[in-house]
Structure 1
Amino acid sequence: MAFISENVLDKFESIDPKTTVPLEKKYTSPKKFEFSFPLSKNEDDGMKNIVGVSWILQDGTDSYVTLLARVLAHLLLGNEGAILRKNLLESKLGKSIAKFSGLERELRELVFSVGLEGVKNSEIPEVEKVINTSLAQIMDQEIDDSEVRSALHQIEFKVKEITGDYYPFGLSTVLNFITPWLHGGDVVSFIRIDVDMKKLKDSLKDKNYLKEKIKEYFIDNPHKVSLVLRPDHSMKERADQELREKLEKQKIMLNSSQKDKLVQNARLLKERQEKFIDFSLLPKIEVKDLNMKMKSLKTSPEILEVAGSKLYFYDQSTNGISYIKYSFSQGDLNEEEVILLSLLATVFTKIGTKNSPYHEMAKRIGLYTGKVASSLGTGRYVNETDRAYLSFDIFAKCLDENIKPMMAIMTELINEYSLDDVDKIESIIKDQANELMICVADYGTDYAVKSAARNTSQYHRLMELTSGITFVRKINKISQMDRITFENVLEKMKALACKIFSKNNLNVAVVTSRDNNNDFQELVASSILSFPSRKNNGIDLAYEKTKRRDEACTTTTNVAYVVKTFSTPTLIHEDGAKFAVLAKMIGTDFLHSEIREKGGAYGGFSGYRAIRGIFYMASFRDPQITRTLKTFENALKWLNDSNFSQDDVDLAIIQVIAELDTPLSPSMEAFKYFENQLTNLSMNDWQKYRERILACSISDLRQVANKYLTGNYSVGMVTSKEMLDCDNPGNEFNISALIG
């Protein structure tokens, strides 16, 4: 820092950048606004309006006010039983809670929003009525003390938990306080949450305190905005036409000198894009500086067996928080049952049990745990040619002192589950279907990869069925069924649920401190003994293994997500590591330049999924299709013809190792180890993979590229019909609309 100050900073004088953000000028009465958004006509089912209400609450640099607002947000929206969430969903005025709902803490002032997506034109006014009625309902009754304690518990839990699965924990902690830091607040007061927590708990001794704040912040707050977003089928076409006309006018207005200048600038840009950049001038680490050893857990798990179930206890420093995952391996399922299983995972922990209605269960979950969730676990046995792993997983975490009530919740969910509340299940499925439909374009690359790879192996077929375009279409279809047809689907789900929970096919991971092991083991063993016995065979999905299948899914979007996939060996093969390095080189040195810098896409990259055995090249938010596919074709020629040094390869090696060494939270480290054990992947396998990465040369990369990237491949794409109409790469594509 002294060197930087002396040679750079000291040469300048400080200035006031005038970046202070003033408080908003407050409305004296509520306002209403309407806007439009583009939507293809074939995707409009008459229920695509978005309706919401927002309030500016208070100054976001005040730590106490922020804490209070977080508590209020939890009471109103924080779980399945929260009054705004419950009343809006039960009103059936819309398909799902609006994505913007919740407390926005990253602005200068706190903003709370709530609304519904998927609303009919005729029912738009009713949404705000439900919101206003719900707030009035709170004023007419006593706020449940357990709901308040649940809100406080959730906030304290988040402060205590060591996260950082994508960022170092210290950095993610700092980012939580970015708002007061940027806007001149007292950052220390946000860190010392215990001071504000004590103040709030003292204030809560007045039973009317929260109701008074709800009245102040919401009911009597004039700075309120009601918003309606309506679909417009011709909006995109009009915008495109306006742009064409504007460009044509600009072109007519240009004189010959200005045209020559544009041509010259284009030539200069091309020269700059193709200019060699000598990275050797920059300071860098070298491969020899990297750690040769793969990081592993400090202590091996303690492994026990109880009534046919296998238990893995991981001793980790988790700051007084314990984690558990029940993983029920599945088998003997056909494609329809796999999709239904994914649907069951969507609703399972949100629907209550025979003993506890969903709002009561949501209250217990909030009061005693940090989270309870169900999901599907998918994996590939990397040491076998084509065998997939599928499990129904239930995950929970809690403060150490709440292990017993958490385990009671877990056991009750499994033994006393109930699929009888048809209205609630239908509401959850509609909510999830709407969210997935909206997000297809946002996650287009991931969907395109799954679509292109689905016929390469049993595992990739499983991935597409449970989380790809096939699942999105299926859940959307189910969400629109009439009541009788929906109940028939529900009966099939009930029949499936009867056979998925078995102690004979159960693996359990527990992450906690060693001090908790004995008590935890007794509780888990008791829980397991209450489960039925039933043996499942391994998953055996039929799929059509084809040489090539190019697919395009069309939806409302202005861009394309284009992917080309190749089936490759997994990480345990001697060639696997070479693909990891190859992906970095092609992505960083070729695709980024050609697709992003020259082609105008937001991103161009390649990747290798080491466990899945897939190499892919991809574009992100791409304005071009045919050009991008041609670029993919040219990647191999570029690799063979370019003059690379070992320094170029080393740069890619360093990037791969950096990803392998991404810091994980203590709990995530343990669960990653657990997943490896379920699919027979050892730390020795990872160590060999790392050593092969570190030993890669340019000849290795060319060898695997010419061996595996010249044969069978598939292309997947998420884009719009309009883009395909004007930039169609050929007739070999199987084109289908997201909603057909």
Structure 2
Amino acid sequence: EEAYPLDEQEEEAKTHIVMGWLLGSASDLEHALEMSLISGILLNHAASPLRHALESTELATSASPLCGLADGARELVFMAGVEGSEPSHADAIETLILDVLSQVVKEGVDPEEAESVLHQIELNEREIGGDRYPYGLSLLMNLLSPALQDADPLPLLDINPQLERLRESIQDRFYIAGLVHRWLLDNQHRVRLSLRPDRGMSARARDQEDNDLLKISAQLNEQQLTDLASKMEALTERQSQLDDEDALPRVSREDIPPALPEEPAVQTKSFSSGLSLGLGYAGTNGLVYQRIVMDMPVLDATLLPWLPFYKSVVTELGAGQEGYMSRQRRLAACTGGLALSEVAYTSPEDQRQAGAYLMLMGKSLTRHQHALSELMLEQLVSLRLDEPERIRELFQQMRLRWDHSVTHDGHQLAMGRAAASMSTLAAWRASQRGLLGLRFVREQDRKLAQDDRVLEGIIQALQAIHQAVLSQGRQIFWVGESGQEDVFLHALGSWPQPSRPGLVTLPEMAIETADSEAWLTQTQVQFCAQSYPAVPPGHPDAAALRLLGPLLRNLYLHGALRERGGAYGGGATYVADDAAFHLHSYRDPRFEGTLDDFQLAIDGIIHQAPTDVQLEEALLAVIASMDKPSSPAGSVLQVLTGALTGRDRAFRSQMRNDLLQVTVADVQRVAKTYLQSDLAKRVVIMPADLEQRARDRGFKIETLL
């Protein structure tokens, strides 16, 4: 049992309890696939026996995010556990996990359930990625681990023979039961870790650090103090030096292609029902991708905060005659999963005008595309909102995820809050997500714990949103290999189309914020944002603002915030859809000094012109982000989505041409025009014990505790 620092007043339901097993070599492909099969059977979806037990137990709030198979080290590790528990529940949680494993060993595994796990493995292996990370490089990284362990990496590129062997083995319902018995129940290479909260741990650590520093400083003689000062001066001088720009070969402006990369062609089809289809072909290696795109309904102020929860539950509940567990089994057997997301955008000409769509996304192997179509439509039009305990579980899981977002994405939360008054889209997002959304979710979770009638109100809100969504106009996207679309096109002819089209345009809105806000929460570091109202993406100054961000980061903020200030990261960025320009820091030990450094960076770039080479480096970074390749399917979906949001090829070509025309004088001009002190909005997420320092600096105090 170990402790972790907690700065909140409440310690109840804050313990993390996890069991872990060491499973042997990760470079043995056959063994690794068997362990993946075990993990999938136990944890693949909400109906999997171990995940269901961990999510539904009254001993904890949710399954641990660590659950699953870790295969990135020399040996495989399987983990299972919970979060939101109590130290006294550790034995009961361990018993619960072992009982589930014993039940699997006793009853065996249905071959159909095992086949659905192999289906997921096959789909993941077949899919050609590349939207976030170059596909070829990801393949090489996968091969690196076995290569470093003197194993043959090439079999990883073709796992079909091993999958076929496993398909034969799983016909024996006790094949997987034997693996579970050997590698989990009888495996003594296991550990249980309980991580409990300790409210005084942070204070003790700070006191210990202060005492250690006092002891060290008391032992330093005059010569040692002089040496330390000299080293500090030398370090400061080195950090201030400009690197020799000609020391290495570099890419230049002349290397930028004159035009955007070629885009895949797409087609548009219309049906007698009024349904519209966007169709694109790509080499998908036997997969199809489908999207149901719906106009975003206009929701009133009481429903809008529930929109993120609605998006997260739509694909996690039952539909038609099926409860959520049966539904999850079908989805796992036939698809790569469903998800509901949003696509939102700001008008290129006016930040007060914005629009949004909801997008139900699914993918499957080609042989399952008819089942995918049916499941997506059923999930949308026959959604069941009559499973209250499941909805309660999902709400608690979302609350935990959002709690974790402060540590992982605190700078994004601070920037979103700071921009809330700068555009309709920024206000719309801030009203449902961000810091306001997190506070709303925490408040509702506390009320739900005290009064079960709150759950009825949540369900009513979800029902109202769902009815609004169903009344909106729809269109469909399909991406796959040529010749595979006939089955899908035949099915589409009978799909219903709402008679009343929705309003795509979001209502104009803004959220007024204080000039300086400090949000107090459980954190040991700060997340700082200083934001300025800017221009929409189609404005003539948008290109110069895009280049101003990397220039501020490279010339000033990286050295001031990270190298000298000790923050994990920081920078500056122009967010076109928010019509805002942000300076930010991430996991920062300071906030006063950081805000001072923000202003010094702005003054620096206004009064000292960047060189042409520095401007060129910023240009190359922005163009590279625009030109990075996508996956085959992702490229088609980008074209289809760009047509929805007005970010088509013509718009992006104009943006590219504008970037190529920006001069150093343009960058200095927009910095002086838009980054004015009296226009700034400052938001800092900080520990509660810094409240007085924030007040002394004139911050309005808000709380997430």
Task: Calculate the TM-score normalised by the size of structure 2.
Answer: 0.96
SS across alignment from 1:551: strand
Q: Which amino acid aligns with 1:418?
A: R
Please report how far the alpha carbon of residue 532 of structure 1 lies from its aligned counterpart in structure 2 after TM superposition: 4.1
CA contact (8 A) 1:304 1:311 kept: yes
Correspondence for 2:318 among 346, 349, 352 = 352
Structure 1 stretch displaced more, 663-672 or 394-403: 663-672
The one of 536, 555, 578 equivalent to 1:612 is: 578
Partner of 2:462: 493
Instruction: State the partner residue of 1:555.
Output: 521
2:96 corresponds to: 130
SS in 1 for 2:386: coil
Q: Give the C-alpha shift of residue 439 in structure 1.
A: 2.5
Contact 1:548 1:713 in 2 (8 A): no
Q: Map Cα deviations across residues 562-594 of structure 1 (whole Å, 9 max, x no partner).
A: 111122123321111111111111111111111
Q: Given the superposition, is the C-alpha separation of residues 336 and 179 from structure 1 closer, same or farther in structure 2, using an over 3 Å criterion?
A: farther
**Is the Cα–Cα contact under 8 Å of residues 566 and 713 in structure 1 kept in the other structure?**
yes
Matched-pair contact (CA < 8 Å) for 1:330–1:505: no
Q: Using the TM superposition, give the Cα deviation of residue 499 of structure 1 relative to its aligned residue in structure 2, in angstroms.
A: 2.3
Between the aligned partners of 1:416 and 1:544, the Cα distance in structure 2 is 35
Secondary structure of residue in 1 paired with 2:385: coil
- CA contact 2:264–2:635 (8 Å) conserved in 1: no
Unaligned runs of 5+ in 2: none
Say if 2:81 and 2:93, in contact at 8 Å, map to a contact too: yes
SS where residue 348 of structure 2 aligns? coil
Q: Does 1:39 align with 2:11?
A: no
> Hey, what does 1:159 align to over in structure 2?
125
CA shift, 1:622, in A, is 1.0
The residue aligned with 2:682 is 715
- The reply to whether residue 254 of structure 1 matches residue 220 of structure 2 is yes
* Residue matched to 2:302: 336
Please state if 1:116 is matched with 2:82.
yes
Contact 2:351 2:577 (8 Å CA) reproduced: no
2:537 to 565, 571, 590: 571
Post-superposition shift, 1:546?
4.2
* CA 1:306–1:104: 2 relative to 1, 3 Å: farther
Contact 2:316 2:328 in 1 (8 A): yes
Partner of 2:169: 203
CA contact (8 A) 2:266 2:640 kept: no
CA contact under 8 A between 2:423 and 2:578: conserved in structure 1? no
Structure 2 residue 396 is matched with structure 1 residue 430? yes
Aligned residue number for residue 525 of structure 1:
493
One-letter amino acid matched to 1:132: L
Contact 2:86 2:196 in 1 (8 A): no
Judge conservation of contact 2:62–2:397 (CA < 8 Å) in 1: yes
The 1:499–1:249 alpha-carbon spacing in structure 2 relative to 1, beyond 3 Å, is: same
The RMSD of aligned alpha carbons is: 1.9
Confirm or deny: 8 A CA contact 1:301 1:315 kept in the other structure. no
Q: Which residue of 1 aligns with 2:26?
A: 60
**Are the aligned partners of 1:343 and 1:475 in contact in 2 as well (CA < 8 Å)?**
no
Structure 1, unpaired ranges of 5+: 1-33
CA distance in 2 between counterparts of 1:605 and 1:318 reads 37
Pair 1:87-2:56 in alignment: no
Q: Report the 3-state secondary structure (helix = DSSP H, G, I; strand = E; otherwise coil) of the residue aligned with 2:485.
A: helix
The aligned counterpart of 1:505 is: 473
Whole-angstrom distance in 2 between the partners of 1:394 and 1:283: 46
Pairing 1:686–2:686 present = no
Q: Give, in whole Å, the separation in 2 of the partners of 1:198 and 1:333.
A: 50
Which of the residues 214, 219, 236 maps onto 1:270? 236
Alignment match, 1:484: 453
Q: 1:665 aligns with which of 631, 643, 652?
A: 631
Tell me the CA shift for residue 731 of structure 1. 4.4
Q: Which one of the candidate residues 191, 216, 223 is aligned to 2:182?
A: 216
- Cα distance between partner residues in 2 of 1:96 and 1:410: 27
Note closer, same or farther for the CA distance 1:92–1:309 as it changes in structure 2 (3 Å cut): farther
Distance 1:338-1:39 versus aligned 2 partners, 3 A rule:
same
Q: What is the identity, as a one-letter code, of the residue corresponding to 1:718?
A: I
User: CA offset at residue 65 of structure 1?
Assistant: 0.6
| Helix, strand or coil at the partner of 1:377 | strand
Corresponding letter in the other structure for 1:399: L
Q: Partners in 2 of 1:540 and 1:557 — Cα distance?
A: 35
Describe the shift of the 1:439–1:666 C-alpha distance in structure 2 as closer, same or farther (beyond 3 A): same
Aligned counterparts of 2:431 and 2:98: Cα–Cα separation in 1: 41
Native 8 Å contact 2:356 2:506 kept in 1: no
Task: Give the aligned residue type for 2:479.
Answer: V
Distance 2:276 2:704 in 1: 42
Task: Tell me how far apart the structure 1 counterparts of residues 295 and 12 of structure 2 sit (CA, whole Å).
Answer: 41
Q: Which amino acid aligns with 2:267?
A: P
The CA deviation at 1:345 is 0.9
2:260 match: secondary structure: coil
Pick closer, same or farther for the CA change 1:144–1:472 going to 2, 3 Å.
farther
Q: Equivalents in 2 of 1:708, 1:731: separation in Å? A: 23
Name the SS for the 1:466 alignment partner: coil
Other-structure match for 2:253 = 287
Per-residue CA deviation, residues 293-338 of structure 1 (Å, 9 max, x unaligned), is: 1224221333435534432112222222111111211233112212
1:444 CA displacement: 0.6
For 1:466 and 1:526, how far apart are their aligned partners in 2? Answer: 35
Structure 1 residues 194-203 or 614-623, which shifts more?
Answer: 194-203
Provide the C-alpha distance between the structure 1 equivalents of 2:297 and 2:353, rounded to a whole number of angstroms.
12
Report Cα offsets for 1:127-152 as digits up to 9, x if no partner. 12211111111122231222101110
Q: Distance in 2 between matches of 1:421 and 1:432?
A: 17
Deviates more, 1:226-235 or 1:699-708: 699-708
1:171-227 per-residue CA deviation (whole Å, 9 max, x = no partner) reads: 011222332122222211222312322332333343321101100011111111111
Alpha carbons 1:511, 1:667 under 8 Å: kept: yes
Report SS of the residue matched to 2:683: strand
1:72-104 CA-to-partner distances (Å, cap 9, x unmatched) read: 101000111110111121222211111211101
CA shift, 1:265, in A, is 0.2
Helix, strand or coil at the partner of 1:64: helix
> Is contact 1:441–1:718 with CA below 8 Å preserved after alignment?
no
> Distance between the aligned counterparts of 2:652 and 2:298, measured in 1?
31
Shift of 1:610: 2.8
CA deviations 1:572-627 (Å, max 9, x no partner) are: 21111111111111111111111111212121211122333221111111111111
TM-score, normalised by the number of residues in structure 1: 0.91
Distance in 2 (alpha carbons) for counterparts of 1:98 and 1:368: 26
Identity, in percent, stands at: 25
| One-letter amino acid matched to 2:460 | E
- Contact between 1:54 and 1:225, CA under 8 Å: does it hold in 2? yes
What letter matches 1:432 in structure 2? Answer: M
Q: Deviations over 1:433-455 (max 9, x none)?
A: 11211221211111111111111
Code of the aligned partner of 1:163: G
Does the 8 Å CA contact 1:292/1:690 hold for their aligned counterparts? Answer: no
- In the TM superposition, 1:626-705 aligns within 5 A as 626-705=592-671
The equivalent of 1:453 in structure 2 is: 419
Answer whether contact 2:562 2:569 (CA < 8 A) is retained: yes
Task: Indicate if the aligned counterparts of 2:18 and 2:194 stay in contact, CA closer than 8 A.
Answer: yes
**Contact kept in structure 1, 2:30 and 2:162, CA below 8 Å:** yes
Q: Is the 8 Å Cα contact of residues 351 and 578 (structure 2) preserved in structure 1?
A: no
1:45 deviation in Å? 5.2
- Contact map agreement 1:334 1:541 (CA 8 A) in 2: no
Call closer, same or farther: CA 1:533–1:130 in 2, change over 3 Å: farther
Q: What number of residue pairs does the alignment pair up?
A: 701
Partners of 2:507 and 2:516 lie apart in 1 by 21
Q: Is the 8 A contact 1:37 1:230 kept in 2?
A: yes
Contact 2:419–2:578, Cα closer than 8 Å, also in 1 = no
